Chain A
């Protein structure tokens, strides 16, 4: 079946602009994660959604970052007033649920802030 998809694959924006990144998880997966991969760094957890529960936002680096998940499926990560340090690859992952279920990652969105 289809894997996790993300759009756009690449996004170039100017400093101060808002951007929206989209993630379509695998059908039936109730858990959805966002990570950020900066150059030379490992992946950094941003936010986690599980079903209709309140999301865990503990990894969001600032209040310029927000995310929502509509209908328990598609998720959008929004970065307001982008800064150059926001340049990174943003990865989305989904899993069935729980700590033993494999996270399946999408190909990522490469964000470049000029």
Chain B
């Protein structure tokens, strides 16, 4: 069965510190991988996506993620967190053919302390 695991429900990071949000997936074939961010009262916004090629992908707002096939992981990182990064982050996987029927993780809520 296809699934996405985000093991951390909440993470608190000090402003200016580095961040890593974990994502592991179970998928029958090589999937497409995504990170979305959801701010309070907002819809989901795509941060970055991986389809193929370079396993380190850059996204918006200074985020990056690394695809590690051997670990079935797609962790999200940011070198220096800003208070405005406080939000909920969702990892998702989808098929590399057909339509983008995304399977989402349960999300990680990021809190940023001053």
Contact = CB atoms under 8 A, between A and B. Distances in A.
Interface of A: 3-4, 31, 33, 35, 40-45, 48, 50, 56, 58-59, 91, 93, 95, 97-108
A59 B103 CA distance: 11
B98 to A, nearest CB: 6
A38 B61 CA distance: 27
Contacts of B100: 31, 33, 95, 98-99, 101, 103
A101 B98 CA distance: 11
A108 B97 CA distance: 27
Interface residues of B, number: 27
B47 to A, nearest CB: 11
A40 B106 contact: yes
B19 interface: no
Contacts, number: 66
A103 B46 contact: yes
21 contacts: A4-B43, A31-B100, A33-B102, A42-B4, A42-B90, A42-B106, A43-B102, A43-B104, A44-B104, A45-B102, A45-B103, A56-B99, A91-B43, A95-B100, A98-B99, A99-B32, A99-B95, A99-B97, A99-B98, A103-B46, A107-B42
Nearest to A48: B99
A91 B44 contact: yes
A93 B32 CA distance: 17
Nearest to A101: B100
A30 B36 CA distance: 21
